[in-house]
A and B are shown apart, each in its own frame.
Chain A
């Protein structure tokens, strides 16, 4: 009896720690990527803490709402931030067994990601401006191609473990590291890498630091936000990137994660492990961005169709290349 209460207390602590770490660390991840890019391009950069300073500056500004917008425009930043924090609580980042484990289904997580995307898309349409509509239509085109690919790629990883529960997938990979070099996992990794860059709005799909409105996808939707709501939208974008990088890190490099019944020592180790993994992935992503140019918009469906095909090949490879030991 005491062991089960011990399990639930430490799991709840680990889940709360996950959410707090994503909240506090997301601007640092964005700042770190900008700093890596700046250094590689020969600039001094603003420092890793610059996004935190920007958030603080925007929080102090006056809240301005454009005329003619409705409650959709007002609620969208909260919906995006809330859905991202819920994903951060569900997916296994620090420990495997969270209290929300029955909901840690692949389809639930993808649905929550899509909920955030749709909320911002509707807010962009709600403003009634030309740029908002353009950004929303581009974003939903990309999202329509990206969501099936995420589902297929993570499904390919779930085939060896026979379960779509994310904690089960991570523990199956941790117990059989040889699966990582199978064709299914490699193809799924490439497909997920393309998907993360598309979903988080990074190069080559979308340039997050562009000032030219006609080339914007994500920023065009949020052009009309100002003050605290803009701070919340930017924070939520950073959190989405952090959560997706952490999920990819744990799916393919699951070592260091605390078990389903974590001990008091395993939780800080899990926190340090996920921080190191996310920092490394963010650095690699920023380095690749330096050498890439933004794709022209009509070429993005080609790239996403290619990643969908790779994810489909990953699923067929996982099913049909099953080793006799299974």
Chain B
């Protein structure tokens, strides 16, 4: 039996034919091909150079400021006054991360739900329309979201902030200092321009990228496993839980991190909404927060070169943070992709 299964090779009559190697081919490119390859490679080099220059430029410009105060002081100081050499990004960093976290907490369930809705529930032209709508949402300018957040959302959501802080104020992040629940006419300005409102607006801006990454990874769940689950008697939700979600886990994590990268770098919407402060404020419902990007947009006009260098240092911190998040995200997505392909 085993002898039958073995591969047998025919005997070549020529001696030494088993050592045959591929016939060497000499590859001569035409001049036009050489030019084409050279020019297109040149394009790649230019693009790479631009992208690398961004990092180099920020680093070089930032060193003046960072070397003056030291990196530890720069990361821990809750103040921004380059004139007196007292500046740091502690409050900016906390604000940026808090806004991103609020945005993710809101955007994650909505994105997972919408992505599953598009891949599992919607069919045909309805699905294509939904995909287009989500893509369109990504193209809406951030200033439009900012205007909407400032003029429409802020007045509408303040009562909700009040309700949240009244009933859940015992949780530290929901506490609002100086708020008096007994006051029948509470001061609404305590609740405006807060981390929470900025986070809600940013969540709308990161939903499209998260949804489309998740949708892509959910739709790649293999059809065989889907039908297998149905054949074993699973309902649609049972199939989603046992097949689609496990297969899409990499895409979910990667998409969330991509969304986080966007949330960290969002500028104009936050710039319009927040009331910039320089103390760490973890009470997300309370007036006053800050973010690196909004801070840069607010202070770019500072005349003196050293202040500019300080801003560059803040920009560098933001750049490094988003790049770490993004490279991690694309590594996770790439790995989940390659796994899915080998299954299919």
A is bound by B: no
Identify the A interface with B (CB < 8 A).
none
